[in-house]
Amino acid sequence: MTTALITGSTAGIGAAFARRLAADGHDLVLVARDTARLREQATELHDRHGIEAEVLTADLADDKGIEAVERRLADRRNPVDLLVNNAGFGHKGRYLEVPMSDELTMLKVHCEAVLRLTSAAVEAMRERGRGGVVNVASTAAFVPRGTYGASKAWVVQFTQGAAQDLAGHGVRLMALCPGFVRTEFHERAGMGTDNIPRWMWLDADKVAATALADLARGKSLSVPDPRYKVLMGASKLVPRNLLGGISSKTGRKYGPR
C-alpha cells in the first residue's frame, strides 16, 4: 500500500486530497499545526476507509517544523510515495500595507518549505525510481499581484523546472493552479468574497480529483477547470498593468486553499 504526505491537510484542498487518497486506499501522513484537529481527521479517515493515518504536527513557518517533515519524507523504512505541498495562507492588504515579518513568513511557507520538502521527498523517490509531488500553487501565479502571486509564480517555475530535470527518473512533479475554491482560506485572512461571481468558485473535492488525474497523465501543470483555462489563456492577451488592476478588485488572494 502506498503512502501520501499532505501538508495543510485539515482544511480546504488539503482535506480534499486526504479524503480522495484515503478513499483510493492510500495510507496518509497528515501534517498541520493543530494536533487535535489532525487526530480527529486521522480517526475519521481510518474508520471510514480502513487506512492508516499518521499525525505529524508541524508549523512550516518555523525551521523546526520544516525539519520534522523533512525527516519523515527522508525515512527510507517508511517511504512516502506522494507528497502534496498544500500548506499556505494569504494576507489582506496591498504591498507595503502588510508587515514585512508577515511577508517573510509567507515566503518561508510558500517557497522555502516547498523547496525543502520537495527536495527531501524527491531524493528518496529518485532512489526508488518512483513517486510523485503535487505543489499547490494558484492562478495567482499568472497575475501581477503582490507577494502571494509572486510566491505562487515561483512554485510553478520551480516545479516545472524540477520536473524537467528529473525526467526519466520515475518521479513526477506537478504544480496545481486552481482558481477560487470554497475553503476556510479567505475567512482566515479576513478577506471578503461578496464581489467574487458565483461561477468562479470551484469545489475542493473536484479540484483534488482532477489534480490526481493530471498527475497520473504526466502533466507538470494542472489548471483544474475549463473556465479557468480559458481565463488564463485570455490573460496572456491582456496588458500586465490592466491585469494587475483587475486582480486587485478581487483581493490580494486571487486563488484558493
Catalytically active residues are 148
Cell readout for 142 is: 499568472
| Distance (Å) of CA 225 to CA 206, 220, 255 | 9, 16, 13
Residue that has been written with the C-alpha cell 499581484 in this structure = 145
Distance CA 208, CA 14 (A): 8
**Helices and strands, counts by H and E, the chain:** 10, 9
Position 225, amino acid: D
Distance CA 75, CA 72 (A): 5
Q: What is the DSSP letter of 108?
A: I
CB 140, CB 97: distance < 8 Å: no
Helices (H), 74-132: 100-107, 113-128
DSSP states along 28-44: EEEEES-HHHHHHHHHH
